Amino acid sequence: MPSTSPDALGFSCACGSLSGHIDAAAAKQGTRIVCHCADCRAVELYHGAPDPKDSGVDLLQLNPDMVKIDQGAEHLQLLQLSPRGLYRWYAGCCGTPMFNSLRKPRLPFIALRSALFAEPDRLGKVVAQAFIPQAGKPPRHDGAARMTMKLASRMISAWVSGRWRQTPLFDIESGLPVAQPLVLSKAERKALTQES
């Protein structure tokens, strides 16, 4: 395993076969959010994780170049809830949901599940909540402006510097993901998103 700085924050799948790290500086540049959307919940349910219906899914948004996979990259597998849906990366060794990303490397975005980290408290405070359910009303968002501004700032920096090319999730020459997506059928997705 490559050596890492003493202040690195390590993450891994449940069985430990797929692991990596981010630097503390990356965590400071990231945006920690909690997402309550039906799709994030569906992914957790698909993989047999605890139902996040009441808590939401705690995520750290970064640029892909900030994420280093130290071992087990061959275990990366890819799920989509629909043909145009986000890429939902998971560890094929044990089924642990790992990352969300956009479908093109030129859109440098990755969201890591905070639960993957040995010390999630070091990721900083939650600064935004998305798709908070409201009875009889559309979902609401708290902190969306801050989240969007930080996302745009990180993406622009990655474009200008060329760091968008540094990603563990895509082959840059072809633009293809490093794993073939498994796309759920409409029926499979409906069954997951309609669970009570």
User: Is there a contact between 97 and 11 (Cβ–Cβ < 8 Å)?
Assistant: no
pLDDT value at residue 196: 46
Q: What is the mean pLDDT of each run of 10 residues along the chain (196 residues)?
A: 71 97 94 96 93 94 97 97 96 97 96 96 95 92 93 94 96 96 92 72
* Buried residues in 97-136 as b, exposed as e (16+ CB within 10 A): bbbbbbeebeebbbbbbbbbbeebeebeebbbbbbeeeee
Report yes or no: 184 and 193 within 8 Å, Cβ to Cβ. Answer: no
Task: Write down all domains in the chain, each with its CATH number in brackets.
Answer: 9-163+176-186 (2.170.150.70)
Reading the block at residue 189, the tokens are 């997705």
Determine the pLDDT at residue 192. 87
Rounded alpha-carbon distances, angstroms, from residue 90 to 22, 96, 100: 18, 5, 9
The model's pTM is 0.92
According to the model, what pLDDT value does residue 4 have?
A: 62
115: nearest Cα among 156, 186, 57: 57
Return the pLDDT at 6: 73
10 Å Cβ neighbour count for 193?
14
